[in-house]
Chain A
Amino acid sequence: EAGVAQSPRYKIIEKRQSVAFWCNPISGHATLYWYQQILGQGPKLLIQFQNNGVVDDSQLPKDRFSAERLKGVDSTLKIQPAKLEDSAVYLCASSLGGALYNEQFFGPGTRLTVL
């Protein structure tokens, strides 16, 4: 079974530029998550989708971050404009559902460096 796919793996941009990340979850997984992991810290949830609807975006900096999951499968996360403090690994995860017990399967992440 194919895992969660993410691209690109690495991205270097200058501050104030825009960047987009792509995620393809495990087939059949209704719930998709985007996390931000700053170096030396645990992942922090940015946004959670159930199919193509947003169920939690309370920790998403909406002035610069946006995400969509059209058709309830692939998802993109965009940052516009980027700031230095956005340098982090962006992890995508998926699970069968959004229940308490559902384990999440993670992709390899996209390492973003903002100069």
Chain B
Amino acid sequence: AQKVTQAQTEISVVEKEDVTLDCVYETRDTTYYLFWYKQPPSGELVFLIRRNSFDEQNEISGRYSWNFQKSTSSFNFTITASQVVDSAVYFCALSETKTSGSRLTFGEGTQLTVNP
């Protein structure tokens, strides 16, 4: 069965610190996609990034960067120079193949609090 583990339940940092959110996944599929979503206090999940299993190139987008390592089944997310507005719950998710279509399996989430 597919599984996503986010070992960090809560992280608290001071503004301008860098912070890395860890994600480890398990799957038997050779083709899969990994996602990161952000859930601010308003409750609506917001898509951040998608990465497929054949693309291990790391990506930087502004203050965000992602490190995908297939050898360790990890897909970590780093926020550089964190801001108070980054405070939210962050979810890592894995898209698995089913008989018809696909299913998204979420981790338990990491609550990030950025203090001024």
Contact = CB atoms under 8 A, between A and B. Distances in A.
B44 A45 contact: no
Interface stretch (B14-22, B69-77, B80-88, B103-111): B103-111
Interface stretch (A11-19, A72-80, A99-107): A99-107
A115 to B, nearest CB: 21
Contacts of B100: 50, 55-56, 98
B101 A98 contact: yes
B98 to A, nearest CB: 6
B12 interface: no
Given A101-B95, A103-B47, A108-B44, A40 B108 contact: yes
A27 B33 CA distance: 24
A53 to B, nearest CB: 9
B39 to A, nearest CB: 9
A87 interface: no
Contacts of A50: 100-101
B102 A99 contact: yes
6 contacts: A42-B107, A45-B104, A102-B102, A103-B47, A104-B104, A109-B43
Interface of A: 3, 31, 33, 40-45, 48, 50, 55-56, 89, 91, 93, 97-109, 111
The 10 closest A-B pairs by CB, nearest first: A98-B101, A42-B106, A106-B45, A100-B102, A55-B100, A100-B95, A103-B47, A108-B44, A109-B43, A100-B33
Given A31-B101, A48-B103, A111-B43, 5 more contacts: A41-B108, A42-B93, A101-B33, A108-B43, A108-B44
